[in-house]
Chains A and B, each alone.
Chain A
């Protein structure tokens, strides 16, 4: 069953393994729980993230945290050496440029109006036991 994860959220990837993922897979990847793609590329997370409402929406949908909570979450992971920090961008344009620059990059966008290259598009599959988007 293929459907939008959320009408506001889009996922893109540059040279990552698959063209579609389940919601729980995406959340797991965006929480730094995957370090290497099967194709050997390092997982690089790109996020358009600052202090605005879109970031607040992303923080709640993906991490179930506040903006400050997400920052604290990544700070802990980075200083413990268990994950590399995401690349934070101030705008969707900047995030798309970062995505294009790094093979293995996976990006998450909120209300993306920009044209996304077909190669970068990743669709979300809702698995049967994922009844709700939390």
Chain B
């Protein structure tokens, strides 16, 4: 069993008895779920209870202009409990709605990563889009300039320089993102991210499973991401579309163009009931040396019930398909998930 020392310290210092003074808040969120998988190649069902991430969320003010935000989680994986630090940043709100942030943050490449973080209670579906397993740099450590709710269109921007996708500080990654919120519940945004990866086999810590070719290709590559997000969460209709183009370039195989698109459409019935559809497509080219060739499609239907704003349940049925020559035939399968997600506030 492995524990993160920083996480233990946070648990100790977050006890109300030790820090009863000052504007310091501790909140939390987590999830638990039950999965049923049916694999067509073996014609068998797999059943499993799973405990999702259990996160602790701490915020504190340091005067009018400075604040701290931290997010730490415990997850159960491979028989061990793993502690992770997701966010730890200091923010300086230097004027109006403009801020500077330093620390580890979620990379604001798209709506999902900028708004939902690890809190499954906010996820519209039971899990992240497929792009998060291959393309998206979830976390980054560095410095960011941020503006939000500027002008009539509620313009927001994020400009940041951070360690590279593989955590290499000698080759900083850069990101520019903007969005507008022309109406209540609507957000339209785009972003550009660039990272030079000196060694593809470097263990990377920002992504949730990317760099699958790390054991096969250890050379350098240029990595670019272009994202477009459209989110519309009205009282009745909910739509979220995340498009990602991931472009990698190596000296040996040249430029590879990879794409993914996630679409969620939900309809609220009396606010508490939300049936929904999802379609998630991901394609990675043969000459991509970051992830290899992937052609993956996921269709799903689901239903969300909100017990309270702090507790909801999602039931989701998905069908995964992949190209037949992909190395993992088990990718073709059905999955049914019941997920309970919650926030402690």
Interface residues of A (CB under 8 A from B): 28, 33-36, 38, 40-42, 64-66, 68-69, 71-72, 75-76, 78-82, 84-85, 104
- Interface-forming stretch among B92-100, B170-178, B252-260, B296-304? B92-100
Known contacts A42-B64, A69-B271; is A75 also within 8 Å of B97 by CB?
no
Residues A33 and B154 in contact, CB atoms below 8 Å apart? yes
Known contacts A36-B93, A80-B117, A104-B64; is A72 also within 8 Å of B309 by CB?
yes
Question: How distant is A63 from chain B, measured CB to nearest CB, in Å?
Answer: 8
Best-buried of A38, A69, A80 by chain B (most CB within 10 Å): A80
Contact with A along B57-97 (1 / 0, CB 8 A): 10101001101010000000000000000010101010111
User: Is B310 an interface position by the 8 A CB rule?
Assistant: yes
Best-buried of B59, B64, B95 by chain A (most CB within 10 Å): B64
B308: which A residues are within 8 A, CB to CB?
A: 68
Question: How distant is A50 from chain B, measured CB to nearest CB, in Å?
Answer: 14
User: Is B5 an interface position by the 8 A CB rule?
Assistant: no
A68: which B residues are within 8 A, CB to CB?
A: 271, 306, 308-309
With beta carbons under 8 angstroms apart, the residue of A35, A79, A85, A104 that contacts B117 is A79
14 contacts between A and B (CB under 8 A): A33-B154, A34-B97, A36-B93, A36-B97, A42-B65, A65-B235, A71-B309, A78-B27, A79-B122, A81-B89, A81-B91, A82-B148, A84-B67, A104-B64
Residues A28 and B29 in contact, CB atoms below 8 Å apart? no
Residues A40 and B64 in contact, CB atoms below 8 Å apart? yes
- Alpha-carbon separation in the docked complex, A42 to B309 (Å): 27
A66: which B residues are within 8 A, CB to CB?
A: 271
List the B residue with the shortest CB-CB distance to A33: B149
A28: which B residues are within 8 A, CB to CB?
A: 149
Question: How distant is B141 from chain A, measured CB to nearest CB, in Å?
Answer: 16
Question: How distant is A132 from chain B, measured CB to nearest CB, in Å?
Answer: 15
With beta carbons under 8 angstroms apart, the residue of A38, A41, A64 that contacts B64 is A41
Question: How distant is A66 from chain B, measured CB to nearest CB, in Å?
Answer: 6
Known contacts A36-B97, A79-B117; is A84 also within 8 Å of B59 by CB?
yes
The secondary structure that dominates the A interface is: loop
- Alpha-carbon separation in the docked complex, A9 to B267 (Å): 32
Residues A79 and B343 in contact, CB atoms below 8 Å apart? yes
Question: How distant is A14 from chain B, measured CB to nearest CB, in Å?
Answer: 14
- 7 nearest A-B residue pairs (beta carbon): A33-B149, A72-B309, A71-B309, A42-B64, A81-B69, A79-B119, A36-B93
Residues A35 and B309 in contact, CB atoms below 8 Å apart? no
Known contacts A28-B149, A64-B184, A75-B309; is A36 also within 8 Å of B96 by CB?
yes
User: Is B127 an interface position by the 8 A CB rule?
Assistant: no
Question: How distant is A88 from chain B, measured CB to nearest CB, in Å?
Answer: 11
With beta carbons under 8 angstroms apart, the residue of B29, B99, B306 that contacts A79 is B29
Question: How distant is A2 from chain B, measured CB to nearest CB, in Å?
Answer: 23
B67: which A residues are within 8 A, CB to CB?
A: 84
Question: How distant is A118 from chain B, measured CB to nearest CB, in Å?
Answer: 25
Residues A75 and B310 in contact, CB atoms below 8 Å apart? yes
A84: which B residues are within 8 A, CB to CB?
A: 59, 61, 67
Known contacts A79-B27, A79-B117, A82-B148; is A36 also within 8 Å of B65 by CB?
yes
A65: which B residues are within 8 A, CB to CB?
A: 235
List the B residue with the shortest CB-CB distance to A82: B148
B121: which A residues are within 8 A, CB to CB?
A: 75
Residues B97 and A79 in contact, CB atoms below 8 Å apart? no
Known contacts A35-B97, A68-B308, A75-B343; is A80 also within 8 Å of B87 by CB?
no
Sample of 7 more A-B contacts, CB < 8 Å, known A66-B271, A76-B115, A81-B87: A28-B149, A33-B148, A75-B121, A75-B310, A75-B343, A75-B345, A80-B117
